[in-house]
Each structure stands twice: as C-alpha cells, then as structure tokens.
Amino acid sequence: MAISTIPSAGITGGGFNFRNLIINGDMNIAQRGTSVAGLTNGSSQYLIDRFKWYEGGAPTYQFTMSQDTDVPTGQGFVKSLKLDCTTAQTSLGAADQNIIWQRMEAQFLQHLKYGTANAESLTLSFWVKSNKTGTYVVELYQNAPNRGLSKSYTINSANTWEKKTITYDGDPSGTINNTANAGLDVYFFLSAGSNYQSGTLATSWQTYSAGDECVGQVNLADSTDNNFWITGIQLEVGTTASDFEHLPYDVNLIRCMRYYFNHYTPDDNGLYGLFTAHTSSAGRMPYRFIVPMRDAPTVSSSTAGGFTWLGNNVSGNPSAIGSESLNKYSCTVNITGSFTQGYSYWLAGSTSTELRFDAEL
C-alpha cells in the first residue's frame, strides 16, 4: 500500500486537490490565542493563523477579534472569526480604513499564469454573518505591480449566515514573481473613509487607485451593537465555487506553521530542548523547526524569568533568551544565565512560556 506524505502549502498530494489558495479558511488554527481586545488606531494584529487585522488612518473605534464557535449549520465548520465593535465611530476620517486580510506566497501562485493571455479567473466563496446589512467589498491586490481588482457583495439578512460567491478575472497585464515573498492579497473591507470611496469601484484590474478601492463599503464601526463573523473562505481557479475543501486539522496546522510557530509547553517543567554552556553565562541550544519556514523567522519569547534551566544538580531562571544563526530550517536559541562552562542543561518552561517563530509575509 502506498503511503502519501503531507504536502507543503500549495502542492497537490495526500489525497486532496489543495484547490483552495487560502490557508486556514475554516479558522480552525489559532496558535496566538483565541481573543484580542482593543483593536484600534495603530493596530496590526494576527490572531487566527494567516488572517490579519489591519487599520489605516487614525480611527477612534475599537474592536475585539476572537475565534468563535458560531458557524453555519450543516456545513462542517466548527470555528469562525468574529469581530465585535466595542467602541463606535459613526463618522470616519477620510483616511480611516479597516480590513481583515490574507497575503499569499508568490511561488504558490504561478499556475494562475498572470501576465499572460492565459491568466486564470479566480472564484472566492465564503460564509458571512452580521447584524450590519448592506454592501461590503473584497479586493484582490498584486504587490509587485501595485494592481487591484475589487468586487462587492451584500449582506442581505441581519444575523443570518449567508454564503457569498465572487468571481474575479485573471490579469494578463499583472505579474506574480516566483519567490517566497508576497504574491496576492485578499482584503475583506469592514470600513473605509472617503479617501477610498471617492471614485468608481475597480471591477477590472487596474493600477491601484485608493479612491476606487472600496466604493460603497458600509461602516461596521458605527455602533457597538455591530458584530461580524466569517468562515469557510475559499479562493480557487475557475468561474464556479466548489464545496469547501475541509483539510485534516494536522495538515492545516502544518501549512500554518510555515509562517508562524508557537512552541509552548502543556504543563509546568515542559521541556524545550538541551543546551550547552558555551561560557559561564551563555548557553547555546540548537533548534530545528518542525516544518521548514517560509524564510528565516524572527524569534521572540515570553518573559525569560518564566523559563527554567536544569542540570548539574542545580537550576535557575534565565535573565534573557535570544537567537542567532537563523535560517528557514533552524536557529540557535541563546540562554543567558549562570552555568558551568561546558556542561549541558535542559531548558524547561511552564504553561505560560512561549518560544515564537514568525516568518509571516
């Protein structure tokens, strides 16, 4: 019996077509946590993996973003992304703008054939629910040539899950470079000031023009009664929408870990790895990523004092944790403490400690 391996993002295999260009469209993976409050001016925040909150301008509204269990009935979903307006702003500034978006890696989009006469059409489908009815906009944006294409949809019934389908033409004049960098963005607009609504909605591919970006977009921030849920986001080649491609949880997680990995321990004294005291104050721990990351990540950690080093019949708390020798496969984690040079120690943690590796686009 042949055994299939789990494919990387964008590669067909493992018994699945991987037709969905969106990663984690069912909102199942949330490595960073399940809720973040106070999203407002200056906020640019991931919560649910691969989906980022972004605001522009200087808004005074505030939102809470969370992973929620309110989902459309009978569709196989168990999680959704929820936005709850907690501080309202009825009148937006001209430059105020708010989106949820996912940026897709360019090298996984070469089959779209952008920049040729054979450029493929794309169909976006998703489930959405809100008490705020009216017109919303979703834009496709190409990073390298600065080109955009926007389409609108309507939430017709308040507090009712509705499935939406939008088809976008391919772009024979665009370019998606064959790199591990940004290729195509999908912007779900939630509010937009007059700077982004002063023209005519760009329903055909064009050089980006802010005034044409999201004409007609409602203001989700105009009342603290407003909520917005979305799940089942699928972007696929063609002019029709197929049923959502439900991937196994582990496959979905592995695809997300290419861009972000949060190593935490499920209990106190959970182990992160073995390190050697390079000097009496500096430990070096080789660390190989479970999944090769998109690029050399940035590394951060929770408060160093929450970690523990153990060995040579002694223990202590690091004063700092850093990193060096970063690449997409591995790095060295540096632990600062009081050691016996040449001895080996374990780095342990608790339920509140994290090592975070971020290679998001």
Residue 81's contacts (CB-CB under 8 Å, 6 or more residues apart) are 27, 47, 48, 51, 65, 66, 67, 68, 100, 229, 230, 231
Cα angle value 294/295/296 (rounded, 5°)? 140
Q: List pLDDT tens digits, range 196-247.
A: 999 999 999 999 999 999 999 999 999 999 999 999 999 999 999 999 999 9
Co-location of 237 and 275 in the same domain: no
Co-location of 54 and 190 in the same domain: yes
Q: List pLDDT tens digits, range 134-145.
A: 999 999 999 889
Residue 136 in tokens: 């919303």
Co-location of 55 and 69 in the same domain: yes
Q: How confident is the model at residue 1 (pLDDT cuts 50, 70, 90)?
A: very low
Residue 24 identity (one-letter amino acid):
N
Co-location of 99 and 154 in the same domain: yes
Q: How confident is the model at residue 10 (pLDDT cuts 50, 70, 90)?
A: very low
Of 313 and 6, the structure prediction assigns the larger pLDDT to: 313
Of 17 and 293, the structure prediction assigns the larger pLDDT to: 293
pLDDT at 160 over 90: yes
Q: List pLDDT tens digits, range 259-282.
A: 999 998 887 778 999 999 999 999
The last residue of one of the domains, among 217, 236, 257, is 257
Co-location of 238 and 292 in the same domain: no
What CATH number has the domain bearing residue 227? 2.60.120.260
Q: How confident is the model at residue 16 (pLDDT cuts 50, 70, 90)?
A: low
Task: Provide DSSP, 298-345.
Answer: EEEES-GGG-EEEETTEEE--SEEEEES--SSEEEEEEES---TT-EE
The last residue of one of the domains, among 222, 257, 292, is 257
Co-location of 331 and 348 in the same domain: yes
Residue 267 in tokens: 């209990």
Co-location of 236 and 143 in the same domain: yes
Whether residue 18 is contained in a domain is answered as no
Whether residue 308 is contained in a domain is answered as yes
pLDDT at 2 over 50: no
The tally of domains found in the chain comes to 2
Report residue 192 CA to chain centroid gap. 21
Q: Report yes or no: 231 and 71 within 8 Å, Cβ to Cβ.
A: yes
- The domain of 347 spans 260-358
For residue 77, give the 3-state DSSP assignment: coil
Rounded Cα–Cα distance for residues 355 and 351 (Å)? 12
Co-location of 225 and 277 in the same domain: no
User: Taking the alpha carbons of 186, 122, 14, 247 in that order, is the dihedral positive or negative?
Assistant: positive
Co-location of 118 and 231 in the same domain: yes
Whether residue 72 is contained in a domain is answered as yes
Phi, psi of 32 (to 5 degrees): -85, -10
For residue 252, give the 3-state DSSP assignment: helix
pLDDT at 175 over 50: yes
Whether residue 55 is contained in a domain is answered as yes
Whether residue 94 is contained in a domain is answered as yes
Co-location of 345 and 298 in the same domain: yes
Rounded Cα–Cα distance for residues 25 and 233 (Å)? 5
Co-location of 77 and 219 in the same domain: yes
Q: List pLDDT tens digits, range 46-98.
A: 999 999 999 999 999 999 999 999 999 999 999 999 999 999 999 999 999 99
Co-location of 277 and 206 in the same domain: no
- Structure-token match 């169909």, residue found: 123
The last residue of one of the domains, among 207, 223, 257, is 257
CA torsion, ordered 221, 223, 224, 225, to nearest 10 deg: -120
Whether residue 6 is contained in a domain is answered as no
Whether residue 7 is contained in a domain is answered as no
